[in-house]
Structure 1
Amino acid sequence: MTATSNDRPIRPLVHTLIKALTLDVWPSHATLMDFGIQTPAHYAAIQKAVLATPDLDALRRELNEILGSGPKITAWVRQRVPDAPVFVTAWDDLPLGDEEPADGGAE
């Protein structure tokens, strides 16, 4: 695993995404889920954004920071592709840290 400037390791799915988009092939299912790629429009938008980022080290760091967050992915892609669709990941509805579940924890 490659490390970022803040010593946070670059996650394997980041490498998988960059390689797949560069080769113009669909990434693995896990990569699709964690980056919110649900349709060909999502794929095209994130591919265009990735290919428009010339600094590979910066690209890896940025993708590592946004992985798993639909709102962050959407914002990052729209900086490069303004008409990109909204990205939603499987992680978006999970509570973080001390947050209580939306149903108050009732079973």
Structure 2
Amino acid sequence: DEASGFQKSLSRNAHVSLWLNEHYPTHEATCDPNIFHGMCHRLDRFTSGPLLVGKTYDAYIHMRLQFDAKLVEKHYTALVHGHVPPPSKDATHHVCDKRIRTVKL
């Protein structure tokens, strides 16, 4: 259910913050829980997806402003294992134009 997913997300974020504190103890933003330890973007909270972390306050604020103003354009590439049949024709449009629901912590 959604509540347990939210709790798991909080737990994973706690592990990430501990890791950031351990590996970047001298970087101001990664040690500050008030700004989520510098975490600006996490591709997929429920897996081991990549993170975008500002190690300084300036970097964090700069990236946060870009995300909040929706100035960041993201492009994803999938690596697929196994046989994938060739497409019947070239894709010329977005496969999914639906906004993904996110939860702000």
**What TM-score does the superposition give when structure 1 sets the normalisation length?**
0.28
- Tell me which of the two structures has the higher relative contact order, counting C-alpha pairs closer than 8 angstroms and 6 or more residues apart: 1
TM-score (norm. length: structure 2): 0.28
**Counting helix residues as a fraction of each chain, which structure ranks higher?**
1
